[in-house]
Chains A and B, each alone.
Chain A
Amino acid sequence: MAESILLAAAALIFLGALLGVLRLLLGPTVVDRVVAVDMLTVMSISMMSLYALVAGRVIYLDAALVYGVLSFLAVIAVARYLERGL
């Protein structure tokens, strides 16, 4: 039961990452690509957390935590850049 739930979570994460990469490749404007990168960041964090659960190592959660804290920085920088603020 637990294994099937983990497998379904991994499949959903891969589906999300695939759609994000597709939008990154196709995206006509820059803003589309920025949003795709933000979505891929969330997918990476969930991938790290899932791998921490599968591998049974708590230290991997620290990397996911640091990434979650710092990942919004690039998106905010791009937003400020687009608004001529940076």
Chain B
Amino acid sequence: MLQLLVFLLCGGILVSGLLAVTLKSVLAATVSAGLASLFAAVCYLLLGAPDVAMTEASIGSGLSTLMFLYAIRKTRGGDD
């Protein structure tokens, strides 16, 4: 049961990564990259590493999305 759940979450990471690579809109790709980190955090928790999951959730999903958006705004002016 736990193994099936971990496999499902890994499929979620895969789908989010593919979306982040293939989507045309830069903003949607950034959101998809944050979603991949979200699934990774739950996966770490299920594999028994709550501290790694905590760090991944705060840095990977929160701070990295924020910095990507800031960089997009600073460089290209956001042509979505």
Contact = CB atoms under 8 A, between A and B. Distances in A.
Are A and B subunits of one complex?
yes
A37 B57 CA distance: 13
B42 A44 contact: yes
A25 B20 CA distance: 11
A74 to B, nearest CB: 4
A11 to B, nearest CB: 13
Interface of B: 12, 15, 19, 25, 27-28, 30-32, 34-35, 38-39, 41-42, 45-46, 50-51, 53-54, 57-58, 61-63, 65-66, 69-70, 72-73, 78, 80
29 contacts: A24-B19, A24-B32, A25-B19, A30-B80, A33-B28, A37-B38, A40-B35, A41-B38, A44-B39, A44-B41, A44-B42, A47-B42, A48-B45, A51-B45, A51-B46, A62-B54, A63-B54, A63-B57, A66-B54, A66-B58, A67-B54, A67-B57, A71-B61, A73-B62, A73-B63, A74-B34, A74-B61, A74-B65, A77-B69
